[in-house]
Structure 1
Amino acid sequence: MDMWWKVGLVLVMCSGLTSSEAREEHWDSSPRSMVLRVPVETLDFGFVPSVVYETHAYYEPGPIGVLFHMVHAFLYVVQPNPFPKDLIVKMVQQNMGGIKGNDYKKPENVVLLLQAIYYELGFIVLTVLGVIFVLFVPIVGLCFCVCRCCENCGGEMHQRQKKNGDCLRGFYMATLITTSVFLAVGVTVAYAANQNITNQIKSTRRFVSTNIRDLKSFANYTPAQIDYLSAQYTTAKNKVLSDLDNIGTLLGGQIHNQLEREVVPALDNALRMTTVKVEGAIKAMRETKEALESVTTSLEILQEGTGRLQNSLQSERASLSNTLNDRACSNGDVTHTCNTIHGTLSQLALSANFHGLPDVEAPLANLDAVLKTDLSNIVQKGYSSFNDTPRLVREQTKAIVLEMKGLLDKSGGEIIGFTKMFPLEPALENFTKFLTESQKNIEAYYPQIDQLDFYRWIGCVVICCMVVLVLAFNFLGLLCGSCGYDKNATPTTRGCLSNTGGNLLMASVGFSFIFSWMLMGIVVTTFVVGGNIEKLVCEPLANRQIFKIIDTPYMVHPAKKNFLPGMLFQDPNIDLTIGSMYRDCYENNGLYSALQLETKFNFNKFLNATVYNPELTKIFNSVNVDLRGMLLLEQEDKDNLIDFANTGIGDIDYQAYLTEVNKGVTVVDLLSYANELEVQADRLPRGALENALKGHASSIRQIHKEQVVPMEQAMKFVKARGTLSQSIKLLQKTSRELPIKVTNVFNAIETVEYLIANNASHVVKKETDKFIKNIVGYFSQYTEWVKHSLGTEVAQCKPISNIIDSLEIVACSFIVDSVNTFWFGLGGCCLLLIPSIIISVKLAKFYRRMDTEDVYDDSMDVVVCGYHNESLYGINNPVMSSYPSYDTMRWYPRASAPPRQPDW
């Protein structure tokens, strides 16, 4: 027994577990570890190397199972009470120290004794009846023999003939045949049970062999399973490393996706404003710029011509004024004309003053710079900067990732080192050697077991042969008696074969008296032992009620609550029972779960303390992503937007341009003025004044032709080139809307930057926590998988339950059921021997040759009794003379009988 407990402890050590009381679970102190989010990806840790156990602890008895069920039903009738768990517990606990002196008289012990007697009442009654049978059958047999020797109890060799004699003989014969058949069935049942034990010896060897092989497999596979558990930490670590290597894509991508809901619409709005509204203004500015450039070129021409024209007109106006101031204009009628002409001199002046127009060089320069600014590209830079979030996250977490990788390698080394710190190989080697030696020792007893079983088989066969001997005499007696019986022969003239049949039947009676009490003694003994073992051991073992007795607190020792943990761990307060261990092993769970090793060897606690160590927790808590450095617009782009909004085109005096362009070159048409001057000159008398005025008209025409006409053509060209008036009007409208539109774009982008820098912090923190929880979730998957594997797949203890089940099959199904079936069949034979004795005695009268017989005299109507010899005394019997074949010496009955008819 001690050796087996050592084996159990070795198996525990083989589980690769040790106490981790020195390690603390620091991770539980972290707020982030309180609620773990299920990772997006479920890790595949593969399958723990499994072992297929050979033992199938199941027994199907086959046809003999019907007999087993019959015996069980009979025992249920004898003992219908449920298993007395409470009674046994009380008896064991109260009498644990032994009963001494007058302790039997204590009320509690008396009550328990009465309860035990009540429970065993059926066995007691049948046992008493069996003992009576054993005691009285020899006595009855002896008395029967003595009585027959005194010619009583059927010992007188005289048979009284009756009218229904043939019916009685037939009845007795049928009854004896039936009884003998049942006797044969009973002895066959006993022989089958006897043979079943011998047949199952090989199965017992098979159970021993497979159970030992299963224990070896259990020991050999356990280290590989533990190594597999520790190796699968690499799966979780590699997944974590992969996520850390892709932290930019995973974490940065999630942050980008969350912010995208608000950032991208803002950028899209800015891009839409640049493409729809601002681009329209840019088109107008581009057309206006071209028009202004043309106007600027034309204005240079006009301004240059305006100067020459103004000088020419001033000179002509001065010359004409001098002419009109001549004395000739002082004469009567001439004076009015001169005064009229003198009054029109002011019309010889410029109408459009192009020199007074504002300079557009600066606005043109600003327009040129603005038109070179690509607003769509500025917004696209914002997209690009926002899409660069993964790179920004990767750069900010680079140092943390490196530190975390180092800690993961350290934790993996600690887990592998933990599984290697025990000398498992020597322990397993010693355990395997122990199993091998044990198997050899057990196999060494096989010849002795076979020999003992042979002796047992011979003994049971001898016992069965006692019944078979009686059966043989019964059947031989019936055969001889039936075959030798002559219905026309009188009792005194029966043949030798018939007489032999009767003698054989009487021999069966004698052997029945000799063997029946011995057989009943064997039946009673095996019934008491086998029946109680079946009811008190096998049945509670089959329904596991017996485990409840063993697992009853303080059952084995008054100071030890639980038996199993007290033996294994020297700690009886652990809530571990044989029943719970058997259930777990029967379900092929791991030994770690079956023995509740977490109470002493908490591997999960060690694993949590290793995987979720404080340094790793600190690193997780230090993960922080700051997006405040993200700029959608560089300062240069912001300045370009400001310059775009402040081109200065809104400050141009567009009305002055429009006014001057719409004016004529001169105040009056010079050709009309020259023609009017000639008309006035024609009204004057001929002379020098007339000629002088006509000369001035000719000069004016010359000025118009040489200076005014080219300027008018230049102005027409400007108007024709770009409809300057319309362009200026469009630019005037655009110049008022453009700063507002550009400012809206600028404000939209700045709003997005503010959102990313400030309001996005909760998004960043939320996604960072999710990423960390995913990382922790991979470790959580690993620890949960290890916990599940330790409980269900590592060191599966099915061999332990198989050992218990195999013992139950061997002890109960192979032995106890067979023994019970043996006494059941043999007991039936013992009971049937009683009617067999009675019927054989009755039937033997009809087969044996009698010394005397009944003779009925028709003439005297009396029966003459006694010896009668016709040849000796010469008496002529008229009745008997009709039967010449009868013997001459006969017995006659003491009572009369009806006359014998020939057809009887």
Structure 2
Amino acid sequence: MLCRTIGILIVCVVYLCEAADPVLTPQTLNDSVQNTADSNSNIVWSDIPKGQTYNTDATYDDGGMGPLFDFARNFINTVFSGGFPYDFIVDVKDGNFEITRDYMQVLSLFGGYAAAIVIGFLFIIIFTIVGCCFCCCRCCGNCGGKMLQKSSPSAGCRRKVYSVILLVLVVFTGVGCICIYVSNDRMTTAIDKFDVTVGNNLDDVDLFLNNTVTQVKHLLENDLNFTFDVLFRDLDNVDVLVGIPVRDQFDQSAGINSIFTQVGNLQTDVNTVISNFDTVDNDLTNLKSNFTSFKTELDNWILDYESTRSGCTTSQTAGVCATFVDGNNLSPPFDPNNIDISSAKTEIDNVRSQDMSSLVQTAKDEFNGIPERVKNDSATAIQDMKTTVNNYKGEITPIINTIENFQTDASGSLNIEDIKKTVTEYSDLAKPYDKYRWYGGVGLTSIVLLVVLLEFLGLAFGVCGSSSDTLPTERSCLSNAGGNMLMAAVGFIFIFSWLLMFLTTLTFIIGAPVEKFLCEPLSEPELETIQKLIDNFGLLGNGNESFLGKTLLNDPNVDLKIGTVLKDCGEGKTAYTAFKLKYMSGFNLSIIQNYKSQLDIDNKLNGFSVDFSTIEVAPASLKDNMQNFKDSITNMNFSSYTEELNKNVTGDDLTAFITALTAAINAASTSDFKTNMTTHRDDLITIRDGSFANTVASKNTLSSSMSSLETSVGGIPAKIDTLLASLNTTQEFLNTNGSTVLTNVLRDFVLRVFTITDALVNRAISGLENDVAKCTPVYNLYQSVVVIGFCKYVIDAFNGFWFCIGWCIFFFVPSTIFSVKLAKHFRRMKQLDMYDATLPTKNGDQWASGSKPPMGDRYALPSNKVGHSDKF
């Protein structure tokens, strides 16, 4: 028994496994670069590799000197107020310029520049002459050269005001001195790091080419292969993605599984009817058996009873004999043989032998096998599709080869190591000469610093060493030293100012036009001015051709401008966008964008052909079995069966008959007749309690089972008619609408395939336009070398250098005046200027104690004869 159970379980497991629908295999796809696709073929792309990190960061640090450089730049823009003289250059080039006619144009463009130069040279001449005259005047005792100071009540206030003003001038001059040194040092720093900056940028260009190839390969090779892996997975699972939806649409439109369920439920009803019928059949057989026994016993009893009753008149009175009821009244009106179910039994046995469940399962299995049928019938078309896709992959390869060749050609034409070596050689050649320039700058800084220190120390010594209570002739050595330092500073200003101004003017002559006419156009975001010069003057090719288009794309008609390229690269755009690689021969992305026409997926998938007309969801054997069952239950006449079963088993009530017989026996006289009748009564009681009771019980059981059978049969014929009509309609639907349903499902499948390939196209286009090969290194190369390296570090520092010297010279002029004036208040005077009406009395060689020299007529007193006064 155990082995049989295990065998049945194994069969059931195998059956269930075979009946299970196919599933998408694999459910999730992923590749080595972490691209993933779920069961709905929604692709999640991995990040495009960023490649190696670039060395250069094209950011500029002005070292806190930005305001100074802005001042110098604003000054240059002031003297060149006309902006870049593009129209002037064009006129000169075209021969449309005449100095006698267009001198005002020249004046508006270069008038400020020329005026600044003239002012510089005039300063050299005039300031030198003024210095010589001042020195001669001082040597002659004029211009404050006498060591005599006029006394004045406001002398202390003047000294303080002069000190504050000079201190402010010293501070501003000191700031200028510091800026001179920093500017001088920044030029050296720029030259020292120039070769390193160029080398890093060139290395970044090489890295840019390598990263570009890596990223394009990732995009057009790894992602392409993964996309086709997803596509092949879906094509291999056409039974799941097409077959199951087709079957489900059949079921949704025709309710096939519902019909199968109803037929399965009908089988349950059939089993119930058969079970009830078997019960009725068994009960009827049992009833007939019991009834035959009962009828035989009753017939024999009636025969014996009537024989005894017929002799009653010979032994009893006529009145007593009349009390004995006729036994023939007990003869059964009921006959179970009138209940005939033999024909129905034959038909039900036929239904039982055919097993409707297996017929339904066969039809269901054939319907559920639609996915497998779709897969088998589309195998050739799927293989053709795969072949086409593999051939299409070969058309993408040239794009990758184009990028690799571009890298090779660029690396060949741009020998980075040789360029770096050349730059290093020139840089090493320039550094020794720059050292002497740096020494010269430090020397100029030292001159200014000497003046600043003399003025600052003179101011500090004078302020600390002087007092309003001290007479000018009795000032301390510290105060006198401060005054001498201020005069020494004035002397150095007169000695070196012409040299400083000469160098300022000379460097201004060079630096200002370089900033205005070279660095300013080169620093424009879109290089519009430079581009106009290139286009108009044919600096790079002729005006009708694009130099970059011809050089990079082999197409001079592509409008590829240097300024636009640098602007796009500076904004972090990709090489595909910035360099307009869509025009490059061999880099034609239309192959990817027009994949639908290349692959012809729509026509190939619509060429699928599956014959659904051979699928039988309503086999003839199933319909015949259902019809036979219907006929079998229809032929059963339950009304006649019920009518027969409602009849009494005996004519008269058997118990009442026994009671009447007992009363009659009791009325009879004692005799053999009474004894015989008593025996008959007892025999009848035995029959009643035996075969009669069994017959009644069997009859009641049959009535109950017959009622159950009638109940279970009710409504089944109509249900069978409905199911037969549904099966016929479903079969007709499969035969006539199968191709339409397949077409609708294939449309969704084609959309799914297009979604997969569209994901690749969008990924490729978006990646090339936004992510792959961002040409920032190209912009960094230009910015680092030209804009930052040359203009920002060198030219800005160069212009800051002369601007700071000019700044210091500007403050030298007022500081000269106030140094001379303040020196009179710090130096020790030889004579004292005083006014009094009368000569003051003297106490010995000094004024009287507590007295003050009266103010009146002027007296020039020797320094050893001057009395003390709180006013000085």
Measured at CA, do residues 84 and 729 of structure 1 come closer, stay the same or move farther in structure 2, by a change above 3 Å? farther
Give per-residue Cα distances to partners, 1:542-598, cap 9 Å, x unaligned.
Answer: 662644763799656594487754664465664544454334423444311221211
Measured at CA, do residues 203 and 99 of structure 1 come closer, stay the same or move farther in structure 2, by a change above 3 Å? same
CA offset at residue 442 of structure 1? 0.9
Give the match's secondary structure for 1:372: helix
Q: Which residues of 2 match residues 377-396 of structure 1 at below 5 A?
A: 377-396=358-377
> Could you say which residue in structure 2 is the equivalent of 1:897?
858
Measured at CA, do residues 554 and 270 of structure 1 come closer, stay the same or move farther in structure 2, by a change above 3 Å? same
Out of 576, 583, 588, the residue aligned to residue 592 of structure 1 is 576
CA offset at residue 239 of structure 1? 1.4
> Could you say which residue in structure 2 is the equivalent of 1:642?
627
CA offset at residue 496 of structure 1? 11
Tell me how far apart the structure 1 counterparts of residues 478 and 341 of structure 2 sit (CA, whole Å): 162
1:225 counterpart letter in structure 2: Q
Q: Which residues of 2 match residues 363-402 of structure 1 at below 5 A?
A: 363-402=344-383
> Could you say which residue in structure 1 is the equivalent of 2:70?
72
- TM-score computed with the length of structure 1 as normaliser: 0.69
Q: Which residues of 2 match residues 280-291 of structure 1 at below 5 A?
A: 280-290=272-282
Greater Rg, structure 1 or structure 2?
1
1:252 counterpart letter in structure 2: G
Measured at CA, do residues 508 and 393 of structure 1 come closer, stay the same or move farther in structure 2, by a change above 3 Å? same
CA offset at residue 227 of structure 1? 3.1
CA offset at residue 800 of structure 1? 0.6
Give per-residue Cα distances to partners, 1:833-860, cap 9 Å, x unaligned.
Answer: 223333444456678899x957889899
CA offset at residue 467 of structure 1? 2.6
Measured at CA, do residues 429 and 857 of structure 1 come closer, stay the same or move farther in structure 2, by a change above 3 Å? closer
> Could you say which residue in structure 2 is the equivalent of 1:453?
434
Q: Which residues of 2 match residues 431-580 of structure 1 at below 5 A?
A: 431=412, 434-471=415-452, 474=455, 508-527=489-508, 529-531=510-512, 534=515, 544=525, 546-547=527-528, 550=531, 559-560=543-544, 564-565=548-549, 568-569=552-553, 574=558, 576-580=560-564
Tell me how far apart the structure 2 counterparts of residues 191 and 635 of structure 1 sit (CA, whole Å): 110
Measured at CA, do residues 352 and 180 of structure 1 come closer, stay the same or move farther in structure 2, by a change above 3 Å? closer
Give the match's secondary structure for 2:365: helix
CA offset at residue 453 of structure 1? 1.6
Tell me how far apart the structure 1 counterparts of residues 52 and 553 of structure 2 sit (CA, whole Å): 27
> Could you say which residue in structure 1 is the equivalent of 2:765?
787
Greater CA drift, 796-805 or 457-466: 457-466
1:450 counterpart letter in structure 2: K
Q: Is the 8 A contact 2:176 2:807 kept in 1?
A: yes
Give per-residue Cα distances to partners, 1:694-726, cap 9 Å, x unaligned.
Answer: xxxxxxxxxxx9xxx9xx989985993676677
> Could you say which residue in structure 1 is the equivalent of 2:663?
none
Measured at CA, do residues 645 and 525 of structure 1 come closer, stay the same or move farther in structure 2, by a change above 3 Å? farther
> Could you say which residue in structure 2 is the equivalent of 1:154?
143
- 2:137 matched to 1:137? no
Give per-residue Cα distances to partners, 1:227-249, cap 9 Å, x unaligned.
Answer: 33323322111111222222212
CA offset at residue 187 of structure 1? 1.8
Out of 734, 739, 762, the residue aligned to residue 717 of structure 2 is 739
> Could you say which residue in structure 1 is the equivalent of 2:316?
none
> Could you say which residue in structure 1 is the equivalent of 2:698?
720
Tell me how far apart the structure 2 counterparts of residues 158 and 657 of structure 1 sit (CA, whole Å): 163
Out of 95, 99, 110, the residue aligned to residue 95 of structure 2 is 99
1:217 counterpart letter in structure 2: L
> Could you say which residue in structure 2 is the equivalent of 1:887?
none
Q: Is the 8 A contact 1:658 1:725 kept in 2?
A: no
Give the match's secondary structure for 1:811: helix
Tell me how far apart the structure 1 counterparts of residues 554 and 613 of structure 2 sit (CA, whole Å): 63
Tell me how far apart the structure 2 counterparts of residues 239 and 821 of structure 1 sit (CA, whole Å): 64
Give per-residue Cα distances to partners, 1:404-448, cap 9 Å, x unaligned.
Answer: 222222223343355347873992695497101111111112322
> Could you say which residue in structure 1 is the equivalent of 2:189?
199
Q: Which residues of 2 match residues 605-644 of structure 1 at below 5 A?
A: 605-609=590-594, 613-644=598-629
CA offset at residue 157 of structure 1? 4.8
CA offset at residue 802 of structure 1? 1.0
Q: Is the 8 A contact 1:186 1:826 kept in 2?
A: yes
> Could you say which residue in structure 2 is the equivalent of 1:690?
none
2:446 counterpart letter in structure 1: C
Q: Is the 8 A contact 1:585 1:798 kept in 2?
A: yes
Q: Is the 8 A contact 1:134 1:521 kept in 2?
A: yes
Q: Is the 8 A contact 1:520 1:830 kept in 2?
A: yes
Q: Is the 8 A contact 2:454 2:485 kept in 1?
A: yes
Q: Alignment identity in percent?
A: 24
Measured at CA, do residues 803 and 297 of structure 1 come closer, stay the same or move farther in structure 2, by a change above 3 Å? same
Give the match's secondary structure for 1:54: coil
Aligned length: 763
Measured at CA, do residues 664 and 137 of structure 1 come closer, stay the same or move farther in structure 2, by a change above 3 Å? closer
Out of 805, 817, 824, the residue aligned to residue 796 of structure 2 is 817
Tell me how far apart the structure 1 counterparts of residues 427 and 361 of structure 2 sit (CA, whole Å): 92
Tell me how far apart the structure 1 counterparts of residues 465 and 349 of structure 2 sit (CA, whole Å): 151
Measured at CA, do residues 857 and 400 of structure 1 come closer, stay the same or move farther in structure 2, by a change above 3 Å? closer
CA offset at residue 902 of structure 1? 0.5
CA offset at residue 799 of structure 1? 0.9
Give the match's secondary structure for 2:858: coil
Q: Is the 8 A contact 2:569 2:778 kept in 1?
A: yes
Tell me how far apart the structure 2 counterparts of residues 238 and 586 of structure 1 sit (CA, whole Å): 38
> Could you say which residue in structure 2 is the equivalent of 1:751?
729
CA offset at residue 460 of structure 1? 1.5
CA offset at residue 288 of structure 1? 4.0
Give the match's secondary structure for 2:773: coil
CA offset at residue 629 of structure 1? 3.4
Q: Is the 8 A contact 1:474 1:504 kept in 2?
A: yes
1:222 counterpart letter in structure 2: T
Tell me how far apart the structure 2 counterparts of residues 511 and 81 of structure 1 sit (CA, whole Å): 30
Give per-residue Cα distances to partners, 1:878-897, cap 9 Å, x unaligned.
Answer: 9999499xxxxxxxxxx972
Q: Is the 8 A contact 2:287 2:336 kept in 1?
A: no
CA offset at residue 818 of structure 1? 1.9
Q: Is the 8 A contact 1:415 1:610 kept in 2?
A: no
2:795 counterpart letter in structure 1: V
Measured at CA, do residues 646 and 416 of structure 1 come closer, stay the same or move farther in structure 2, by a change above 3 Å? same
Measured at CA, do residues 131 and 570 of structure 1 come closer, stay the same or move farther in structure 2, by a change above 3 Å? farther
2:794 counterpart letter in structure 1: I
Q: Is the 8 A contact 2:490 2:816 kept in 1?
A: yes
1:781 counterpart letter in structure 2: A
- 2:749 matched to 1:771? yes
Out of 203, 222, 238, the residue aligned to residue 231 of structure 1 is 222
Q: Which residues of 2 match residues 296-335 of structure 1 at below 5 A?
A: none
CA offset at residue 141 of structure 1? 3.2
CA offset at residue 650 of structure 1? 1.5
Tell me how far apart the structure 1 counterparts of residues 235 and 197 of structure 2 sit (CA, whole Å): 54
Q: Is the 8 A contact 1:556 1:563 kept in 2?
A: no
Greater CA drift, 744-753 or 803-812: 744-753
Q: Structure 2 stretches of 5 or more lacking a match?
A: 1-37, 304-327, 652-656, 658-682, 848-855
CA offset at residue 296 of structure 1? 8.7
Measured at CA, do residues 219 and 652 of structure 1 come closer, stay the same or move farther in structure 2, by a change above 3 Å? same
Give the match's secondary structure for 1:102: coil
CA offset at residue 272 of structure 1? 6.5
2:805 counterpart letter in structure 1: L
Q: Is the 8 A contact 1:53 1:214 kept in 2?
A: yes
1:154 counterpart letter in structure 2: C
Q: Is the 8 A contact 1:190 1:825 kept in 2?
A: yes
Tell me how far apart the structure 2 counterparts of residues 839 and 198 of structure 1 sit (CA, whole Å): 36
Give the match's secondary structure for 1:105: coil
Give the match's secondary structure for 1:897: strand
Tell me how far apart the structure 2 counterparts of residues 233 and 427 of structure 1 sit (CA, whole Å): 24
Tell me how far apart the structure 2 counterparts of residues 472 and 607 of structure 1 sit (CA, whole Å): 75
